Structure 1
Amino acid sequence: MAPAELAELKKQLEDLLSKGFIRPSVSPWGAPVLFVKKKDGSFRLCIDYRGLIRVTVKNRYPLSRIDELLDQLRGGTWFSKIGLTSGYHQIPIDEADVRKTAFRTRYGHFEFVVMPFGLTNAPTAFMRLMNNVFREFLDVFVIIFMDDILVYSRSPEEHATHLRLVLEKLREQKLFAKLSKCSFWQREMGFLGHIVYAEGVSVDPANIEAIRD
């Protein structure tokens, strides 16, 4: 790794340790790490779990189709979106499996005690959790895709009730939202690459421009 990447690695490891997401490891497992540069120039720490993925039994829990989710919004005129903060990291790993998440770095050997990004079953495990938590609300006034929750209602009075129920459920389950990923009380809303509003759903123009460019 280049000096700038090593400095960033040390910083991100300290952050993960301080949050209690990782701990020092003596596991026989040890995936390599690398950085991917994001659009804003910052670095995303990635763990190459391909060795673990090859021996993992795949979870066949179904992921929702975006078009089927958006079909549920008919009649909605008020919308709020809630995005969870580091969604995967809010799910603890079973102690017996923690050692399998181990990764090796210049600064030591570590393992995750919460679900890391990069595991083949992480998306399905997360969707199972979210669907179980919000099952009674799904397709009534809530649709969910991964860590994005969309609350939709026919009136302001309904929306106030629906939002209260969703926020209470998040608090009850100790799931935390990130304010910068939330938007409340909107008549139209960007969601999953589309714009949703009372009259229907359309493709987000920003995505069309990106394809043209």
Structure 2
Amino acid sequence: MQRQDQPDNVVTAKAQQYLETDWESFRDNTAFNLLKEYEDSVFRPELPEGLPEIREIEHRIDVKDPNRAMYRQQWRQSPEQQREIVQWVVDMVKKKLIRPSISPHAAPTFCVRKPVGWRIVHDYMYLNSNTIRQSIPTTRKEDILDAMSGAFWFSTMDLMSAYYQVRMREEDIKFTAFQAPNGLWEYLVSPMGVCNAPATMHRLTSKNFRNLRNTKSFYDDINVFTKSPKIDDHFKALRGTLDILCENKLYVKLSKCVFCAEEIPCLGDFVGRDGVRMDPDKVQTIKDWPVPRTQEELHSFLGLTGYVQRFCPEYASLTASMFTLLKKKNERNAKVHFNDEQLKNFKGL
């Protein structure tokens, strides 16, 4: 019997049920017929069983000291968490994404509570500290937003379990070993939590989509935009992107997609026909923020409001007096007291 708290991507039958619901929600979308052409090739209920396509780009782990054993003792887990980890391992073995390991390396495994069920996580701190960081030029968020700003039609897609769609380089598999109640295991695909995984994902998507003028990728996010008001022009651009996904056997999570919209969420902001605007949820959080009483609270507030700098020309002048309160003492719980000017600037911001 299937547990009620299992993640949606574990059991094929349940994943298929959710995908059918997703398709129903897109039935009135103008791109529905186009999308259905890729139902079996791009918009699958979950990743196909087995290893991803052999590609030029694999995830590699270049270590500083190859003779150093990166082992960290596993800490205790509750019986419930142990059962979750064991079941997750069984599912991952069935999908052929992990295998038993005899590696001298081992990362501890733990559970993080989700709204429904648990997320399985590994602590690769020792591995990451011994890994040579990759220097991969990444596309600036501002450049992507500037390119898309003012377009007429927008679509956005999100790769499904993106890291699991990238193979590990064979000689580096041993470094990914992790502990579980039912043994030592290692990844055949890129695991989450290793320091260069985002760089590998960026290399993969940027290589595939760099020749498409109307497509901008940012790690596992793929955005399609067209300046023309003709919907057929957007369909053409969208088809070009979907064809590349199909050719490279890359899969997309339909429930996280938006198609043929006037505006889409993009990289923490919203981009649409009228340009780029702030995420209204973040704006509301700033509006509702109480007057900080400690340096830690002020740090948190200023860290959050840093998001609005591009949209607020007066940001530097409004925050200058507040930053002076952080220079007096270097104590998180030190009290801060706003004078009239600082309180006015806080409310103004």
Name which of 185, 188, 191 aligns with 1:110. 185
- 1:47 and 1:77 map into 2 onto residues whose CA distance is 43
Match of 1:50 in 2: 125
After the TM superposition, which residues 163-202 of structure 1 pair with which residues of structure 2 at under 5 Å, given as runs?
A: 163-202=238-277
CA contact (8 A) 2:149 2:276 kept: no
Greater than 3 Å deviation, 4+ residue runs? 210-213
Alignment of 1:26 with 2:99, yes or no, is no
After the TM superposition, which residues 1-213 of structure 1 pair with which residues of structure 2 at under 5 Å, given as runs?
A: 1-38=77-114, 40-137=115-212, 140-155=213-228, 156-211=231-286, 212=288
Unaligned runs of 5+ in 1: none
Q: In the TM superposition, what is the alpha-carbon distance from 1:208 to its structure 2 partner?
A: 2.2
Aligned partner of residue 143 in structure 2, secondary structure: helix
Aligned partner of residue 72 in structure 1, secondary structure: helix
Which has the bigger relative contact order, CA under 8 A and spacing at least 6? 1
Amino acid aligned to 1:120: C
- 1:67 and 1:169 map into 2 onto residues whose CA distance is 25
Q: In the TM superposition, what is the alpha-carbon distance from 1:143 to its structure 2 partner?
A: 1.3
- 1:69 and 1:163 map into 2 onto residues whose CA distance is 17
Aligned partner of residue 121 in structure 2, secondary structure: strand
Amino acid aligned to 2:211: E
Aligned partner of residue 80 in structure 1, secondary structure: strand
- 1:61 and 1:42 map into 2 onto residues whose CA distance is 35
- 1:44 and 1:11 map into 2 onto residues whose CA distance is 12
Relative distance call for 1:149 and 1:108 in structure 2 (3 A) is same
- 2:283 and 2:99 map into 1 onto residues whose CA distance is 43
CA contact (8 A) 1:88 1:126 kept: yes
Relative distance call for 1:68 and 1:182 in structure 2 (3 A) is same
- 2:150 and 2:194 map into 1 onto residues whose CA distance is 37
- 1:16 and 1:133 map into 2 onto residues whose CA distance is 27
Q: In the TM superposition, what is the alpha-carbon distance from 1:117 to its structure 2 partner?
A: 0.5
Return the structure number with greater strand share.
Answer: 1
CA contact (8 A) 1:25 1:102 kept: yes
- 1:45 and 1:64 map into 2 onto residues whose CA distance is 30
CA contact (8 A) 2:149 2:271 kept: no
Q: In the TM superposition, what is the alpha-carbon distance from 1:53 to its structure 2 partner?
A: 0.9
Unaligned runs of 5+ in 2: 1-76, 290-349
CA contact (8 A) 2:209 2:216 kept: no
CA RMSD, aligned part only? 1.4
What TM-score results when the alignment is normalised by the length of structure 1?
A: 0.94
Q: In the TM superposition, what is the alpha-carbon distance from 1:41 to its structure 2 partner?
A: 4.8
Q: In the TM superposition, what is the alpha-carbon distance from 1:2 to its structure 2 partner?
A: 0.9
CA contact (8 A) 1:193 1:207 kept: no
Aligned partner of residue 211 in structure 2, secondary structure: helix
Deviations 1:65-98 (A, max 9, x none): 2222101113411011111100011000011111
Q: In the TM superposition, what is the alpha-carbon distance from 1:141 to its structure 2 partner?
A: 0.8
CA contact (8 A) 1:31 1:48 kept: yes
Amino acid aligned to 1:136: N
- 1:22 and 1:108 map into 2 onto residues whose CA distance is 12
CA contact (8 A) 1:82 1:150 kept: yes
Amino acid aligned to 1:33: T
> Once the two structures are aligned, what percentage of the paired residues are identical?
37
Deviations 1:29-60 (A, max 9, x none): 1111112223x153211111111111111101
